[in-house]
Amino acid sequence: MGRAKKVVLAYSGGVDTSVCIPYLTHEWGVESVVALAVDLGQGAELDAIQAKGLTAGADQSLVKDATRELIEQYAFPAIQANALYENRYPLSTALARPLIAKMLVEVAEEVGADAVAHGCTGKGNDQVRFDVAIAALNPSLKVLAPAREWGMSREEAMAYGEKYGLTFPVKKSSPYSIDLNILGRSAEAGILEDPWAEPPEEVYALTKAVADTPDEPAYLEISFERGVPVALNGDRLGPVQLFEQLNAIAGEHGVGRIDMLENRLVGIKSREIYETPALLALITAHRDLESLTLTKDVTQYKVGVEQTYSQLVYNGLWFSPLREALDAFIVKTQERVTGVVRMRLHKGQAVCVGRKSDCSIYSESLATYSEGDVFDHRAAEGFIYVWGLPTRVWSRGQS
Ligand code: ARG
């Protein structure tokens, strides 16, 4: 008796998920493997991946495009939440996992599978995100993670695959572990495991080194409606086009490189290099527009919500009552986050240099130090008397 009869496998075409196919079949007695490759704008050769799934022994090899859904249903809420894990990582990998899990579950239900599978190892966050998301969506499905149990090195895994007719291109394989989708690229392992070592330029793929970026800055206007980016330089764009164009221009100016040590859910500290040109520029612009359109108390309260939100996305709780409740709060705050932010992209930085909105609650006549000031300076005196009263009483008590 095998562990499952029919399994839908999250398939990338890489070594690990390819080896999973014969492994599930021959070691775990799975009768039928359905490979599912999800297109998330990673620019992979999906036809080749589809064919490879069949060569590896899958009964069915499916490809589904979910790039737009990734942006609309996952990235846009995260932008509205200004979501940055540990204040830095815009969750480009973490946001994709619940979507892949959802698609695995949908296909499993369609084809009548009793299990789903993924190629994650036992050390990362991604296994947690998959397992928990799948459990949230269909707790009756088994989740198989061969690479968590097989205990093979990469070389051993390749040798195992070759036994079953898999071939791996001889190209010197990259020492890095890469995850890529339209939201960004994550790289770890190899020399990056030494936190003192500066990342070699070869680690990067979406962004230029500052030394190679144009000397002239680029100016860019990003329009938002209710906290969602809808146009670049006045051109209304669909979400995929918007991300593609912004990734290209921000990447050209070296924007969106992040070199950080982060705290994984599983307790390990790891060093990761991220490139998230569009996503980081959008969060920066979005937060700036909020500063023009949200009240002081909502702005400040929301910071705590944003931190909780980032942590729960990172920790695999996308499909959870807390995320839904926080999203309800966040969406409410976005009702007036409509307007335009002007950014300057230059030498690795995306800086907001202007913002405007019909919903602005900035008042120049209150703020001005020039003519036309309407602020009642005398009123400040009374305000400070009351505000400072406890301080004066306390101070007297000290002497
Ligand atoms: N550390 C990131 C996260 O937990 C990315 C994980 C995948 N990274 C990779 N290089 N394969 O979201």
22 residue type, one letter: P
Average pLDDT, the chain: 96
Instruction: Tell me the per-residue pLDDT of 340-397, one tens digit each, with 9 for 90 and over.
Output: 999 999 999 999 999 999 999 998 889 999 888 888 889 999 999 999 999 999 999 8
Q: What is the pLDDT of residue 170?
A: 67
Using the mean position of ligand 1's atoms as its centre, give its distance from the Cα of residue 183 in Å: 13
Instruction: Tell me the per-residue pLDDT of 188-245, one tens digit each, with 9 for 90 and over.
Output: 999 999 999 999 999 999 999 999 999 999 999 999 999 999 999 999 999 999 999 9
Which residues are marked as active site?
16, 97, 126, 177
The answer to whether 53 and 27 are in contact (CB under 8 A) is no
Q: What is the pLDDT of residue 397?
A: 83
Instruction: Tell me the per-residue pLDDT of 86-101, one tens digit each, with 9 for 90 and over.
Output: 999 999 999 999 999 9
List all residues whose CB is within 6 A of at least one atom of ligand 1: 93-94, 124-126, 177-179, 186-188, 272
Residue 292 CB neighbours (<10 A)? 18
Query: Confidence class of residue 172 from pLDDT cuts 50, 70 and 90?
Result: low
What are the residue boundaries of the structural domains of the chain, listed by start?
Answer: 6-78+91-173, 178-294+337-356
Q: What is the pLDDT of residue 109?
A: 98
The answer to whether 120 and 147 are in contact (CB under 8 A) is yes
Per CATH, the number for 178-294+337-356 is 3.90.1260.10
State whether residue 180 is helix, strand or coil: strand
What 8-state DSSP symbol labels residue 189?
S
Q: Which of 15, 93, 95, 128 to mutate to test the pocket of ligand 1 (most atoms within 8 A of CB)?
A: 93
- DSSP for 332-393, written as a single string: HHGGG--EEEEEEEETTEEEEEEEE-TT----HHHH-SSTT----HHHHHHHHHHHHHHHHH
Using the mean position of ligand 1's atoms as its centre, give its distance from the Cα of residue 179 in Å: 7
pTM: 0.96
Percent of the chain topping pLDDT 90: 90
Q: What is the pLDDT of residue 2?
A: 76
Question: What is the Cα 395 distance to its own chain's centre?
Answer: 50
Q: Which of 178, 186, 259, 314 to mutate to test the pocket of ligand 1 (most atoms within 8 A of CB)?
A: 186
CA–CA separation, 44 and 30 (whole Å): 28
Query: Confidence class of residue 1 from pLDDT cuts 50, 70 and 90?
Result: low
Using the mean position of ligand 1's atoms as its centre, give its distance from the Cα of residue 306 in Å: 20
First vs last C-alpha separation in the chain: 83
CB hemisphere CA count around 13 (13 angstroms): 19
Of ligand 1's listed atoms, the one at least distance from the Cα of 262 is 1
Both tokens assigned to 360:
């602005």
Domain 6-78+91-173 has CATH 3.40.50.620: yes
CB hemisphere CA count around 67 (13 angstroms): 20
Instruction: Tell me the per-residue pLDDT of 256-299, one tens digit each, with 9 for 90 and over.
Output: 999 999 999 999 999 999 999 999 999 999 999 999 999 999 99
Position 72 pLDDT exceeds 70:
yes
Percent of the chain topping pLDDT 70: 98
Query: Confidence class of residue 184 from pLDDT cuts 50, 70 and 90?
Result: very high
CA–CA separation, 258 and 129 (whole Å): 22
Q: What is the pLDDT of residue 91?
A: 98
